[in-house]
Amino acid sequence: MLKQTIKFKTLDGDDRERDFYFHIKKDKLVELEIVHEGGFKDHLQDIIASKNGRKIMDAFKEIVAMSYGERSEDGMSFLQSPERSEWFMGTDAYSEFFFDLVTEPEFAAKFVNGIMPSNLEQEAAKLEAKMKRAGLNTGPDTTQDKATFNLPTPAEMANMSPEDLAVVMEQIRAGKVQKSGL
C-alpha cells in the first residue's frame, strides 16, 4: 500500500494537505501479471518506452482508478469502488498528483513500485503453474471471447490437489472460462 501526501487547493481556494492511499490487491495484480505477456511491469515499461503520451496517460489513469481507495481506521480493510475512484479523480488533489505522475519519471516509478507487492512475479508464476496443471489457458485471450479449457475428467479431478480444484471451480464461477466445445 502506498500512502501519498498531496498538497492542493480546494475549489474555494483553500490550501490543503491530505494523505491518499493506493493499493492493488495481490489477486488483481497476479491477474494483470498473467494477462500481459512478459508481465505487468514490462507492459508498463513498453508503454513508457513508446513515448506515446496518450497511451502513457491512459495507462496511468487506469492504474490510479484501480488502485485508489480508502483505508479503514483499524487497518483491516481497504475499500475500493468505481465511485471512490471517481470522487478522487474529480478533486484538485488528483490533478496535482496526475501532473506529477506523467511529468516526473522517478515519481511515476515510485508510485508503480509502491502499489505492487515485491513478490508479484513469484506469485504470478505459482498461479500460472496451477492454472496450467488444471488445464486452463493462462495467456492473453486473442479471440476476444472467454478463454476455454478442456474440462478435466472425473478421474483427473479425483487426482487433483484441492488447490487445483479450487482454481478450476473459481475460474468457472467467475465466468472467465467455459467448457470446451460449447
Top-confidence residue, 103 or 176: 103
Cell of 2: 502506498
Determine the residue type at 76.
Answer: M
Backbone angles phi and psi of 4, in degrees to 5: -120, 120
Beta strand pairing call for 68-71 and 78-79: antiparallel
pTM of the model: 0.63
Domain ranges in the chain are: 2-117, 134-179
Strand partners, 69: 21
Determine the residue type at 10.
Answer: T
Least confident of 42-46, 137-141, 156-160: 137-141
Q: In what side-by-side order are the strands of the sheet with 2-9?
A: 2-9, 15-22, 68-71, 78-79
pLDDT tens by residue, 149-174: 555 655 665 666 666 666 666 655 55
Helix, strand, or coil (residue 154): helix
Reported as a pLDDT band with limits 50, 70 and 90, residue 179 is: very low
Read off the pLDDT of each residue in 108-130 and give the average, rounded to a whole number.
75
Cα separation of 131 and 179, whole Å?
Answer: 15
Predicted confidence at residue 48, as pLDDT, reads 81
Identify the top-confidence range among 54-58, 90-94, 146-150, 167-171.
90-94
